[in-house]
Amino acid sequence: SDANLRQQIKKLTDEGKLKRYSTGVYYIPEKTDFGFEAVIPMEIVIERKYVRNNSGIFGYISGLMFANEVGVTSQVPAVFEVVTNRATSDYRETSLIRKKVILRKPKVTVTEDNYRILQFLDLMRDVDDIAEEEGEDLKKTVLRYMRDMKISFASLEPYLAYYPDRIYRNMYETGVLKGVFA
C-alpha cells in the first residue's frame, strides 16, 4: 500500500540508506573516491522526472538550455525549461535543489516520434529573442541541426498550426524555409 511504501522510504531515509533529493525523488547515496557523498546531477533528475524514463519519451528540454545545446547562443541559463506531458498546467514554476524549473504543457502529446520536431519548433518560435548568432552563421547552425536530426519541412508541417505566426517569419529569416529538404 502507499502508506506502507512511505513508511519504508522514511525508515530507509532515517537509516541513511536512502537520501531525499527533492519531493518524491530519492537516491541511494554512494561515496566518491575522495570520500565525499556523490549527488545525482540535476540534469539527470529532470530527465527522469519530466523527459524520459524506461517507458519512453514524454517531454523535452526547451528555451535557452536547448538553444545553447544547438549552438545559437552561448548563454547558460539559470532556469531549466521543460515541456512535458506530465505538466498539470500550461505554465508552472517549481524548483529542484534551489534551481528554478519551468514546466510547460506541450501543444500536442510528446512522443518518441515528435519530440525533436516540437523542440525544434519551440526554438524557431523564440530564435529571434534568444539567438546570439545572426545571418549566415545562424542559418548554418540551424540547418546543420536539422540535417543532423533528420528534420525535414514535411515533418514540421503537421505541427505548424499549433504555433504563432511569428514562427514563419523566424523560419524564413533563418533560411529554414529556403534551405530545407522536403
Q: Percent of the chain, pLDDT > 70? A: 96
Predicted local confidence at residue 179, as pLDDT: 52
Question: Do 121 and 159 touch, CB atoms closer than 8 A?
Answer: yes
Please, which pLDDT band fits residue 142 given cuts at 50, 70 and 90? very high
> Does pLDDT of 180 surpass 60?
no
pLDDT (0 to 100) of residue 182: 42
Task: Give the pLDDT of residue 15.
Answer: 84
Domain ranges of the chain: 2-38, 42-179
Contact indicator for 4, 11 with CB cutoff of 8 Å = no
Tens digits of residue pLDDT in 28-57: 778 878 878 777 788 888 999 999 998 999
Give the mean pLDDT of the chain: 89
The 10 Å CB-count burial string (b at 16+, else e) for 43-54 is: eebbbebbbbee
Number of residues in the chain: 182
pLDDT digits (tens, 9 = 90+) for 54-105: 899 999 999 999 999 999 999 988 899 999 999 999 999 998 877 899 999 9
| Lowest mean pLDDT segment, chosen from 63-67, 135-139, 163-167 | 135-139
Q: Is the four-CA dihedral 64, 66, 72, 78 of positive or negative sign?
A: positive
What pLDDT was estimated at residue 17?
Answer: 78
pTM: 0.83
Q: Which residue has the higher pLDDT, 61 or 13?
A: 61
**What's the pLDDT at 91?**
96
